[in-house]
Structure 1
Amino acid sequence: MTDDAPETTAPEILRYAAFAIRPEGGNPAGVVLDATGLTEQRMLAIAAEVGYSETAFLAPGSAQGAYRVRYFSPLTEVPFCGHATVASAVALADRIGPGRYVFETAAGDVPVEVERGADGLRATLTSVEPKVEEVSAADVAEALALLGWTDGDLDPALPPRIAYAGARHLVLAAGTRSRLARLDYDFDGLAAFTRARDLVTLQLVWREAPEVFHVRDPFPVGGVVEDPATGAAAAAFGAYLRELGEATAPAVLTLHQGEDLGRPGVLRVELSAADTRVRVSGTAVAIV
């Protein structure tokens, strides 16, 4: 899949809602199951035309059941996208049946397993090796100012960090659900802030219970005000909680996202005592 490869016929573009059981829930993603021959410019143009936060482009990988995958927002390419991974795996399962796939992404190889359950097809991805790093007080202060938040809006038990599980996210925890519900930020300013720090989104969270969270993800660097359900950030957040000792493996976390957008979705995050990588699972359904 190189930029000078010849393009053939127009690709089939599928649309799936990830982390939802209904098309109007979760996070919609575009899926191109055969992107062979598409240039980077064409993929970006398709993603912009589709208009979702990400569209995934698949091509045959290095082995049976492996696929090379690239992810594009309407404005840029991102190294990894969880909801488009779930959507793509379910789209594959709709065509060839449930099973195990390996997505060869810019962030590394991501195994994905698809099973059929009571709520339909469910995909579970295993992240690349995660990491969590400190963030400067100056960067936190700037992010808060761009969000219109103050230090007093934060939950002191969940300090700001940058978390990675395929893409980098700044984690900021709100002290109340009402603070999380009010999201009115400086779009251009936050886009410049995230771009300068190689961040994909801000992972804004509120803890309802020890293992239940509500989350929101501004995504201005991708040209999207808010991502309705963010699998990459969910994986990074699982690593964040384990690093801080706020979750002890084995653990299963439930993340609710999209409620404030009218697109409710549920993300399941699993921490294993035997593996530092994080598993994120959810259902997906075709948007007709």
Structure 2
Amino acid sequence: MEQERSVTMKTFHTVAFQYGPGGGNSCPVTLEADGLTGEQMQQMTFQFQQEAAFLLSPTAPGCDVKPRYFVPLHEMEMCVHATVASAMVLVDQGIIQHSPIVFESHYGPLPVEWERKDGEILIRVEQFLPKFQAKRPSDEELCRVLGIPQEALGKGPVESAATSRMKLMVPLAAPHWVHEVKPDFSALWDLCDRCETTGFYIFAPENNRSDNVVFHARQFPNRSGYNEDPATGVAASALGAYLVRHQLIPVAEGWNPCTVYQGEAMGRPSLIRAETQVTGGKITKTRICGTACYEK
């Protein structure tokens, strides 16, 4: 890890994408974790009962830090809210002061830009070019597992999308349906396995907006150790690309932003900004913007 000063292993308890008191997604960030085994990291994460990041020295040239991401039951290839939290800690603790910070991710070098703005550290995490897959349950099965009628389904196809990890995009007709979902989680996890996706991301556009770029969402991560996630950067990034692909938001050359509110049904309101770049009519970049702070 390129550093301006030395540090010893220490865990900082943070929260990312917070939108008001009690909101956001918690993330313990452990610095200088090179001395830990993967099993020890998994055990620590199980004790935290939260998604966690462990920062190691990089092994790839040109990278500043190598993260490992865990949920209570397994390791993950990517976690955007943990990346936002990690970048905040690295900058705030004076360990890295240049931008971008290059994370050595499972998918390759991951530039993370940051700037100080209005007393916060605003962080932009690049993701990757989107991928889509059509494997999905029938509308009848999908609605039965989510506990909603079929008229709750909204505009746009049900399909898995990823800018890192696959999430099944489930458009609903209005925000109230997002909050009225009552999943059968055992059946939902089985559907995730069958559809080869890492979770369901249900979403609906905010009512009475002509620009159609504000959404309310919930994420149910497959077999993670908890049933719902208050803020999911990888899913919001995939949603941004999905919306552009199907022109469900106004699409123009350059960056196409959308705002995602998540965690409301959990009493942990979160705010994520997803941006999808279009060049020559094609998606050329994706990224997530947000902030993190220390958990009080």
When the two structures are superposed, what TM-score results if normalisation uses the length of structure 2?
Answer: 0.86
Note if contact 1:125-1:279 (Cα within 8 Å) is conserved in structure 2: yes
- Measured against aligned partners, the alpha-carbon deviations of 1:23-44 in whole angstroms (never above 9, x if no partner) come to 7221111211222032121111
Q: Out of 256, 281, 288, which is 1:280 matched to? A: 288
Write out per-residue CA displacement over residues 61-120 of structure 1, whole angstroms, 9 at most, x where no aligned residue. Answer: 124652211211001111111111111111111112463111122233321112111151
Query: Does structure 1 residue 83 correspond to structure 2 residue 81?
Result: yes
Match of 2:37 in 1: 39
DSSP-derived class of the 2:145 partner: helix
Find out whether 1:263 has 2:268 as its counterpart: yes
1:146 and 2:145 are equivalent in the alignment: yes
* Residue correspondence of structure 1 range 119-134 to structure 2 within 5 A: 119-134=119-134
- Distance in 2 (CA, whole Å) between partners of 1:91 and 1:141 is 45
Specify the alignment match of 2:256 in structure 1.
251
1:92-151 Cα deviation digits (max 9, x unpaired): 11112463111122233321112111151111101022112223454x543332211232
* Alpha-carbon distance in 1 for matches of 2:257, 2:295: 28
Deviation at 1:152, TM superposition (A): 1.6
Q: 1:260 to 1:151 in 2, by over 3 A?
A: same
- Find runs of 4+ consecutive structure 1 residues off by over 6 angstroms: none
Counterpart CA distance in 2 for 1:263 and 1:196 is: 30
- Separation of aligned partners in 2, 1:172 and 1:266: 19
Question: Tell me, which stretches of 5 or more residues in structure 1 are unaligned?
Answer: 1-9
Distance of 1:14 and 1:269 partners within structure 2: 26
Identity %: 32
Give per-residue Cα distances to partners, 1:5-53, cap 9 Å, x unaligned. Answer: xxxxx9422111101266722111121122203212111111111111x
Which secondary structure state, in structure 2, belongs to the residue aligned with residue 121 of structure 1?
strand
Deviates more, 1:105-114 or 1:212-221: 105-114
Question: Is the contact made by 2:63 and 2:109 (CA closer than 8 Å) also made in structure 1?
Answer: no
Letter in 2 for 1:246: L
Given that 1:154 and 1:173 are in contact with CA atoms closer than 8 Å, whether structure 2 keeps it comes out as yes
The separation in 1 between residues aligned to 2:221 and 2:11, in whole angstroms, is 23
The 3-state SS of whatever aligns with 1:57 is strand
Structure 2 stretches lacking a partner, 5+ long: 1-7
RMSD: 2.0
CA contact (8 A) 1:17 1:23 kept: no
Q: 1:203 aligns with which of 201, 204, 213?
A: 201
Q: Corresponding residue for 1:111?
A: 111
Aligned length: 276
2:233 alignment counterpart: 231
Specify the SS of the correspondent of 1:66. coil
Taking a change above 3 Å as real, the CA distance of residues 98 and 264 of structure 1, as seen in their structure-2 partners, is farther
- How far residue 185 of structure 1 moved from its aligned partner, in angstroms, is 1.3
Which region of structure 1 is more displaced relative to structure 2, 84-93 or 216-225?
A: 216-225
Amino acid at match of 2:287: R
Question: SS where residue 227 of structure 1 aligns?
Answer: coil
1:185 corresponds to which of 183, 186, 193: 183
Kept in 1, the 8 Å contact 2:278–2:285? The answer is: no
